[in-house]
């Protein structure tokens, strides 16, 4: 039972990490983590009303700061905020390099007799 729960926890964790494909999704996840942590601390501690209000105001300030950072990023360079991991990980190939790669694959995987032209 504990093993299946651990597998479910790991799979949900890996799914969450795979969902982080853009800086915008990272900012959203960071905001959720910070806000959830503050909410848990404020609701489970025996704090005075003044401290709870200060924590609530901190939550609002952090939310506003992250939204402001996202807006500034979007305004200055929107392509940096919305790019996907595919664009970053795999730079575009030169067409001649792609042709060379295809030719290498054909030579390595196709029987040489099949490449000969049939007699007329």
Mean pLDDT, residues 55-73: 86
Q: What is the DSSP letter of 22?
A: S
Closest CA to 82 of 67, 70, 65: 70
CA angle 9, 15, 18 (to 5 degrees): 140
Helix (H, G, I), strand (E, B) or coil at 70: helix
Q: What are phi and psi of 22, to 5 degrees?
A: -135, 160
Alpha-carbon distances of 26 from 37, 66, 101, 118, rounded to whole Å = 16, 11, 35, 58
- Nearest CA among 54, 52, 33 for reference residue 43: 52
pLDDT in tens, 13-62: 677 666 667 777 777 888 888 888 888 888 888 888 888 888 888 888 98
Taking the C-alpha atoms of residue 48 and residue 70, their distance in angstroms, rounded to an integer, is: 33
pTM listed for this prediction = 0.49
Q: Which of 56, 83, 85, 69 is nearest to 27 (CA)?
A: 69
Cβ atoms of residues 66 and 30 within 8 Å: yes
pLDDT of residue 24: 74
Can you give the pLDDT at residue 83? 62
């Amino acid at each position: 039972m504990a093993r299946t729960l651990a597998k479910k926890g790991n799979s949900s964790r890996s799914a969450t990490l795979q969902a982080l494909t853009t800086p915008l999704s990272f900012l959203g996840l960071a905001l959720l983590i910070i806000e959830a942590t503050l909410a848990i601390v404020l609701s489970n501690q025996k704090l005075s009303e003044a401290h709870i209000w200060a924590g609530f105001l901190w939550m609002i300030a952090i939310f506003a700061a992250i939204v402001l950072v996202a807006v500034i990023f979007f305004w200055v360079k929107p392509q940096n905020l919305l790019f996907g991991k595919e664009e970053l990980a795999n730079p575009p190939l030169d067409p001649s390099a792609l042709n060379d790669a295809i030719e290498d694959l054909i030579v390595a995987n196709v029987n040489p007799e099949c490449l000969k032209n049939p007699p007329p």
